[in-house]
Copies of this chain bind each other. A is one copy, B any other.
């Protein structure tokens, strides 16, 4: 019996989370086993912004490699985000249900929150706990590209607020604060 089939462990267990159905997106070796190292050339890419105009403008030159998706993960997202000079990571926002985390890999960005501004360089990181009503975003005010990892949990029913503009988001997309669509 393979050592990882364990009597008393293998029966299905009670799972209290409503997790999305997982579709594995990784690679398989010739032995039929997963090769977990992620091939960056095959990772889903997202460029630009789906915000309604004109809120998309400052975010048009952002580029995300969806690393976690590329590794077949579903419970949280991990993106490698590249911000060109002048570009914003997002409109300033906060999440009701989902924790968020950023780690700067290269370059320099400015973290803007209700508490003020903080410069962040390689090795700096920040956490944004779910439900904390402190809108945040990162702006690249430098003359060079900045790269960072962003991590966010994925929780059904998530929604959030953009404090600086007339916009909310939920699973259906973006609306005005009176819930009317754009």
Contacts and interface: CB of A to CB of B under 8 A. Distances in A.
Tell me what chain A mostly uses at the interface: helix, strand, loop, or mixed: loop
Contacts of A37: 111, 118, 120, 124-126
B35 A129 contact: no
Interface residues of A, number: 76
B161 A127 contact: no
Number of this chain's copies in the assembly equals 2
Nearest to A103: B149
Nearest to A160: B9
A130 interface: yes
Contacts of A35: 113, 115-116, 118
Interface string A7-18: 011000111111
Nearest to A116: B29
Given A3-B164, A24-B132, A78-B103, 5 more contacts: A6-B161, A9-B159, A13-B97, A37-B120, A40-B123
